Amino acid sequence: MPIPDYQSIMLPLLKFAGDQREYSLREAIEVLAQEFNLTEDERKKLLPSGLQEIFDNRVGWARTYLKKASLLDSTKRGFFNITPRGLDVLRKNPKTINVAFLRSFPEFVEFQSVKKDQDESESEAGKAMEKTPEESLESGYQRIRSNLSTELLAKAKSSSPKFFEKLVVELLLKMGYGSFREDAGKATGGSGDEGIDGLINEDKLGLDVIYLQAKRWDSIVGRPEVQKFAGALQGRKAKKGVFITTSKFSDDAHDFVSKIDNKIVLIDGEKLAQLMIDYDIGVSKHVSFEIKKIDWDYFTEE
């Protein structure tokens, strides 16, 4: 079954705590995962950030919302139990517990003081309610990043050959390749002889070199172009190469590099734009958010 949203977890979580024992969040996660019949793959599915499992995050937020409505209470770090109000809710045998249900408690209304835009459609509101705050934040970030990536790639494609060469140099330097900017500039300033545009040191000491080819193209780069580059590497007894394009590589091109002895990395336009974002090439920081959580150690009394 699909991973349940955090609201669908609220009632099962409250019932889990209904025996009035103290439980850890980890215990709740394990029991509820079995109750929802989640597969191993579903359990391991991560948030876009890759820092936490989606199901674990949703159980955590279900607990937080129940706490804000005073149905659960924190006993110590990572542990919780049910409150008298929570027991009273269970005795009434509700069919479901969701955000709308929790709004009947003044503590929760105060917690959820953010008002929705009046022109927000019901479908959009429903989708928003299915996500935890982290998921909403991360999905928004991914949309912003995707739009930025599209703009960056368009700019790279419309730049001059000389500027594109500079862009590639800047990126490789930021990624830790090359020894000095001057060396990198000279290395990538070749004429495309034998299918190789240039080379750059793999490390600061210049113990090995990587041959480069960059294509500011709109059309797909096929196997023949990549094969030509591989042949040029063999002609120089080189083992490593990076082929960069603003377009895409064909399946045949990917299949070819996976079967040869030379190590050739293919960087298409989408990957190029993502690397530019990661290494701050052609972008500037607009705004940042710092998410904090309670420091339980601070409140531990000796």
Residue 139 in domain: no
Cα distance between residue 26 and residue 300, in whole Å: 21
**Does residue 121 share a domain with residue 173?**
no
- What is the predicted pLDDT for the residue at 160? 87
Residue 150 in domain: no
Strands, DSSP E only, in the chain?
Answer: 23-24, 72-76, 79-82, 198-201, 209-215, 240-245, 263-267
CATH number of the domain that residue 63 is part of = 1.10.10
**Does residue 126 share a domain with residue 169?**
no
Residue 301 in domain: no
Residue 299 in domain: no
**Does residue 125 share a domain with residue 43?**
yes
**Does residue 65 share a domain with residue 182?**
no
Residue numbers of the domain that contains 216: 156-278
**Does residue 193 share a domain with residue 94?**
no
End-of-domain residue from the set 96, 131, 166: 131
Cα distance between residue 213 and residue 160, in whole Å: 16
Cα distance between residue 33 and residue 41, in whole Å: 12
Give every residue of the chain whose pLDDT is below 70, as ranges.
1, 113-130, 179-195, 204-206, 296, 300-302
Residue 298 in domain: no
Cα distance between residue 231 and residue 145, in whole Å: 37
**Does residue 175 share a domain with residue 241?**
yes
- pTM of the entire predicted model: 0.59
% of the chain exceeding 90 in pLDDT: 47
**Does residue 272 share a domain with residue 164?**
yes
- What is the predicted pLDDT for the residue at 195? 63
- What is the predicted pLDDT for the residue at 250? 96
Cα distance between residue 31 and residue 295, in whole Å: 27
In the chain, how many domains are there? 2
Which of 91, 101, 105 has its CA nearest to residue 15?
91
- What is the predicted pLDDT for the residue at 301? 63
For 106-143, b/e burial (b = at least 16 CB within 10 A) is: eebeeeeeeeeeeeeeeeeeeeeeebbebbebbeeeee
**Does residue 261 share a domain with residue 160?**
yes
**Does residue 214 share a domain with residue 168?**
yes
- What is the predicted pLDDT for the residue at 33? 96
- What is the predicted pLDDT for the residue at 125? 43
Cα distance between residue 170 and residue 298, in whole Å: 44
- What is the predicted pLDDT for the residue at 11? 97
**Does residue 110 share a domain with residue 178?**
no
Residue 188 in domain: yes
Contact 167/282 with Cβ under 8 angstroms?
Answer: yes
**Does residue 188 share a domain with residue 98?**
no
Residue 31 in domain: yes
Cα distance between residue 90 and residue 278, in whole Å: 48
DSSP secondary structure letter of residue 203 = S
- What is the predicted pLDDT for the residue at 244? 93
Residue 183 in domain: yes
Residues sharing a CB contact under 8 Å with residue 3, sequence separation 6 or more, in sequence order: 36, 38, 42, 45, 54, 55, 58
Q: Supply 81's token pair.
A: 């139990």
**Does residue 193 share a domain with residue 118?**
no
Identity (one letter) of the amino acid at 32? L
pLDDT in tens, 201-227: 777 666 778 888 888 898 999 999 999
The angle, 0 to 180 degrees and rounded to 10, between the axes of the packed helices 84-91 and 6-16 is: 100
